[in-house]
A = this chain, B = another copy of it.
């Protein structure tokens, strides 16, 4: 699966011979982890599993960074690693400026990293992470959306379905982009980074380069599709028990998108006097881009107004649906958090009432509540500590805070003069890039997978 894409790519750019080698390495590593995860002895599953998942991502990022580091692009190793991590975690923050004049090989490499990272995270969340919970805390119960092993009895079928859906959607997206006037190269790259909710572009101006509302609308549609739980598409492929609205997070996510987009358009109508129709298209595109954690921009939306900035800031936390390529807190957790708060308010008023929490048709277990809760602590704790660390390397508060946030949520652009949608991460010092790389990995692997490794008692028997 990896090699054809990589070969096709290497063909196109014979000056980067290192690509073939790295592509091969990635393939080997992937095979190794697949074997290792299967052959693992049961009693070692938990510790080894977390260690393996983290190691594989780190190794993949290392491999992904090599072509960038050895290429003609002027980046430090920290920069190359950051760029690769930003690709594979589908964050999309970049240290490279002057994308328009970059070798096409490098551009395609960046897009491929995101595309592979996208299917990688869907696969990992649905297939590998649930096995880590076996017999333990149902840590990723919500990620698997609804017992996928019931929906599709066999893992192979699910894997095949996911890949097919991902490829099909990417193709459809590429065709849509091409038909709307993008070159084949731009369409391919943007289709890959759209479906990965990655946000890497082949132009410094991102989607603004094309200056075409129809492209923005098409992109909006595919970003939303990419941020829905992918099990939906697999069910669509094998259409028994197909119930799109059974998963409450989908409705919640779509409603949040609609409300916030509308709110931004309204503020632009009032504050900037932008015609509402025009404002609605670009507001929806940029808001959907942030909330799906894609990170494209059609223009510098932080110039619209403080009110718009506030909404984009909120959207940077929220994220898409679990089981998709999107990051952030995610709509399923928002649903659970809301239900938990409501239940505890009710208990406070009616101490003797028996309250059962239901996520869709399923009861929410105490373990699920704990899992979501822990994620929330870790998210905000990491956000604050990351901010403090970055200020230690001289970053101002807004850059440090929004940088950590955008990395943890895998969004891409931050706020402020430096890393806002019109800026990039090229001026940040190397130590800051390392911190942000760590934050991207933490966010992508749902925090606990990595943080548990830092916890001493894990290593004591």
Which residues of A approach B to under 8 Å, CB–CB? Answer: 46-47, 135-137, 139, 267, 305-307, 309-311, 313-314, 317, 337, 340-342, 344-349, 351-352, 370-371, 373-374, 376-378, 380-381, 384-385, 387-392, 394-398, 400-401, 415, 448, 451-452, 455, 457-458
Contacts and interface: CB of A to CB of B under 8 A. Distances in A.
A128 to B, nearest CB: 15
Contacts of A337: 377, 381
Nearest to A318: B384
B397 A452 contact: no
A386 to B, nearest CB: 10
Contact of A345 (B346, B390, B458): B458
Contacts of A395: 306
Instruction: Please indicate which of the listed interface residues A307, A371, A376 has the most CB atoms of chain B within 10 Å of its own CB.
Output: A307
Given A313-B387, A349-B452, A384-B317, A392 B307 contact: yes
B377 A314 contact: no
Say whether chain A's binding surface is mostly helix, strand, loop, or mixed. Answer: helix
Given A46-B351, A452-B349, A344 B137 contact: yes
A317 B385 CA distance: 12
A377 B340 contact: yes
A392 B448 CA distance: 35
B344 A370 contact: yes
Contact of A394 (B307, B344, B347): B307
A455 B398 contact: no
Given A374-B340, A376-B376, A378-B341, A387 B347 contact: no
Contact of A457 (B139, B346, B380, B400): B346
B306 A397 contact: yes
B307 A391 contact: yes
Instruction: Please indicate which of the listed interface residues A342, A345, A371, A400 has the most CB atoms of chain B within 10 Å of its own CB.
Output: A345
13 contacts: A46-B351, A137-B347, A305-B394, A307-B394, A310-B400, A311-B388, A313-B387, A317-B384, A342-B457, A345-B455, A348-B452, A397-B398, A397-B415
A381 B346 CA distance: 19
A347 B377 CA distance: 17
Given A314-B387, A387-B314, A397-B398, A135 B351 contact: yes
Given A348-B46, A349-B47, A384-B317, A341 B377 contact: yes
A388 B313 CA distance: 8
A396 B309 CA distance: 8
Given A311-B388, A400-B306, A136 B317 contact: no
B345 A306 contact: no
A42 to B, nearest CB: 11
A385 B260 CA distance: 12
A341 B374 contact: yes
A405 B265 CA distance: 27
Contacts of A314: 384-385, 387-388
Given A46-B349, A349-B47, A452-B348, A310 B387 contact: yes
Contacts of A457: 342, 345-346, 349
Contacts of A267: 392
Given A314-B384, A340-B374, A342-B455, 11 more contacts: A136-B349, A137-B347, A267-B392, A306-B400, A309-B397, A313-B388, A314-B388, A340-B370, A342-B457, A345-B451, A345-B458
B313 A348 contact: no
A379 to B, nearest CB: 9
Contacts of A136: 347-349, 351
